[in-house]
Structure 1
């Protein structure tokens, strides 16, 4: 038996095991969110549009960014979305571009603007850097690149596809052959986006004919051909082409007898038709 405690010794309480603080769950790194990203190469799209139209585009010829945004959102589901427009600003166009940039921002686009001082001041590198940054900060689900510049974008976009990203090129079929030929990239023609243009651009798109056929309107009136011919006749009458005189034959030179058939056209000249537009000389 245990000896009873002595009067001068306090009774010791039963010892309990040391209480430990509850363990906290291990902190996990922030999970990356899904993102659909749209990047727009404004200098390239504008240059391509001018080439297709053959002149500087009017306001009605330019794409509507609100329609582009609605098309982009239609396949984004509930993922995060980001639309970015990259542009150059020439010193002489800074004032006129301000309203356009503010309109883009009101549609939900972020705008990256770089001064255009030297010919090499492009925005392609900035676009690629932004795509890479978003690939690190988010889980890219879809990347839409509006550009016909295959030299800079073909390789990086195919690498994105291999990393599991859906890649779409938004441009014009006339210039975006790199996207149409690549098996890893989807291609959407800008004019196929609903509401992107107020009027038809009048392009000759034989690969997008409706099942019942379609019309291609003339690019100039037929009677313009008569006006061209009249203008050529007037020019020829006002300024006839001088006929050079034959050089004088020295007196001591013996005359050369004419051979049979002299003066007949050569074989290569038979049936030769002068090309249209060549000035015609009216006989006196």
Structure 2
């Protein structure tokens, strides 16, 4: 049996892959101009335990194959941010997550393509299930729905406020990160257009205004 980080595979076996996209460090209403607070940071050890429990369920339903989990995070590293991101990356690796890190040079250096290529490879090798954390429906909805239609259960992890594409899908199952036990220490301050307080509330931008200076026309 050949071993990979977070994977174990042999002929006739299947994997349960948990894959994460950039910036899984924040809650649904974070301020992009400030670092996440302790409340907004997800606990990846709790997420890893959830993945292990999900793997055990799959293994029980498929006694004829060996089902092993993989937990992988894909992230871009912007110039000058290595020291800021390193503790988060080290924390992920310390609880068993593999991390694919790529320099953020321009819009074309995003990790979406790398993540999709990794998913495609795992599908070729054999998947019992796939769990993906992403708010990018434009990049991921069609590929994930194709996988689901092929018979592999696909769950999208994230926040309802940013995952309308997954909630609207007939083939994908959505799991809100806050519904997974222990991922957040306390309930998040979630504010949306359908849950506004009487006194009103500020809705923070999804990205800094300065990002317009570097985005492509």
Alpha-carbon separation, structure 2, partners of 1:66 and 1:218: 37
Whole-Å separation in 1 of the counterparts to 2:46 and 2:77: 24
Question: Is 2:136 the counterpart of 1:136?
Answer: no
Q: CA deviation at 1:37?
A: 0.3
Does residue 69 of structure 2 align to residue 81 of structure 1?
yes
Q: 2:160 aligns with which of 159, 162, 173?
A: 173
SS in 2 for 1:53: coil
Q: Distance in 2 between matches of 1:83 and 1:217?
A: 41
Q: Is residue 182 of structure 2 the alignment partner of residue 195 of structure 1?
A: yes
Deviation of 1:172 after TM superposition, in Å, equals 0.7
1:72 Cα shift? 1.3
> Which residue of structure 1 aligns with residue 208 of structure 2?
none
Partner Cα distance (1:54, 1:100) in 2: 18
Report how far residue 163 of structure 1 moved.
1.1
Corresponding residue for residue 103 of structure 1: 91
**Count of residues in correspondence between the two structures:** 181
Secondary structure of the residue aligned to 2:39 is helix
Q: Is the 8 A contact 1:41 1:147 kept in 2?
A: yes
Structure whose CA Rg is larger: 1
User: Whole-Å Cα distance in 1 between the matches of residues 198 and 20 of structure 2?
Assistant: 31
Describe the superposition over 1:168-209 as per-residue Cα deviations: whole angstroms up to 9, x where unpaired.
0001101111110111000011111111112222114799x9
Change (3 A) 1:206 1:70: farther
Distance in 2 between the 1:132 and 1:219 partners? 45
- How far apart, in 2, do the equivalents of 1:69 and 1:154 lie? 24
Tell me what 1:33 maps to: 13
Aligned position for 2:215: none
Paired residues of 2:29 and 2:189 also in contact (CA < 8 A): no
TM-score (norm 2): 0.75
State which of 100, 103, 110 in structure 2 corresponds to 1:112: 100
Distance in 1 (CA, whole Å) between partners of 2:185 and 2:192 is 18
So what's the TM-score if we normalise by structure 1?
0.58
In structure 2, the residue corresponding to 1:100 is in which secondary structure?
helix
- Residue 149 (structure 1) aligned with residue 126 (structure 2): no
- Mapped to 2, the partners of 1:203 and 1:160 lie a distance apart of 31
Pick aligned residue for 1:184 from 171, 181, 185 = 171
What CA distance in whole angstroms lies between the structure 2 residues aligned with 1:169 and 1:132? 16
**1:167–1:185 CA contact under 8 A, matched in 2:** yes
Match of 1:65 among 44, 47, 50: 44
Specify which structure has the higher proportion of strand. 2
Distance between the aligned counterparts of 1:205 and 1:36, measured in 2?
A: 33
Structure 2 residues without counterparts, runs of 5 or longer: 1-9, 60-66, 202-217
Deviation readout 1:225-251 (Å, 9 max, x if unpaired): xxxxxxxxxxxxxxxxxxxxxxxxxxx
CA drift at 1:54: 3.8
The equivalences for 1:42-53 within 5 A come to 42-43=22-23, 45-46=24-25, 49=27, 52-53=29-30
Where does the alignment leave 5 or more consecutive residues of structure 1 unmatched?
1-29, 210-215, 221-284
Contact kept? 2:29, 2:191, Cα under 8 Å: no
